[in-house]
Amino acid sequence: MTTDAESPPAASPPARWSQKEATRQRVIDAARDLFDTHGYQGTTIREIARHAGVAVGSVFTTFASKGEILSEVMATRLAALCAEIGRLSPHIHGSTADRLRTMFAVHFEFEARQTRLFLAHVAAAYDWTLTPGAQPYGRNAHFQEVIKATLARGVAQGDVRSDADPQEVVDLLMAAYAWTWRLVITESADVKAMIAVMDRQIGLVAGGFTPKS
């Protein structure tokens, strides 16, 4: 951001703001790597501060809790993911089930770059020290809206029943998506295996929303 000559004389607030912003960015970067390496329980705010090269106190001036830092990390990632899906969506064709499969596959591939980070995100949803500012897995509206739009398009093209409750379908798909990740824990599944399982689960849910012929 550049300032032009008309701006009021440089005062300390913008300078302090940008320093605060820099700290925030350093904390987020350090936290992303630490959560991905040590998981949610294994990462402490002290460690995050040390890796970011900032004082523990200044972490707390920006974030109220570990859960809030993780929420921020994930929100930043999600923004990138949504951009990716936005780029792809005009090119996604076929039945509603197939379009859903493509969208979830993109998610799996994206999150699988930092598997443990995603697992930390889900684990954090049950954390005791969570503060109101944190937004754990399952409480983020953005992706849900994308799925609902896909279903609405399906109603228009005739392969989704018009009386199917979009929120119910979304909840089922999100549950299936999250729990497919457990295959990483229980079977050390790779991303291809997860996508294959998710594809079948989407097929089963589609059986519930496809109009009876």
Interacting residues with another protein (CB under 8 A): 39-42, 116, 119, 122-123, 125-128, 138, 164-165, 168-169, 171-172, 174-176, 178-179, 182, 184-186, 197, 200-201, 203-210, 212
| Measured CA distances, 78 to 25, 71, 111, 191 (Å) | 16, 10, 9, 18
What span, in angstroms and rounded, lies between the C-alpha atoms of 10 and 12? 7
What span, in angstroms and rounded, lies between the C-alpha atoms of 71 and 87? 24
- State the nearest-atom distance from the C-beta of 75 to another protein, in Å: 19
- State the nearest-atom distance from the C-beta of 184 to another protein, in Å: 8
Nearer to another protein, 51 or 116 (CB): 116
Nearer to another protein, 71 or 201 (CB): 201
Q: Does residue 28 contact residue 76 with C-beta atoms inside 8 Å?
A: yes
Nearer to another protein, 84 or 152 (CB): 152
- State the nearest-atom distance from the C-beta of 143 to another protein, in Å: 15
- State the nearest-atom distance from the C-beta of 49 to another protein, in Å: 19
Task: Quote the radius of gyration of the chain (alpha carbons, Å).
Answer: 21
Question: How many beta carbons lie within 10 A of that of residue 131, not counting itself?
Answer: 13
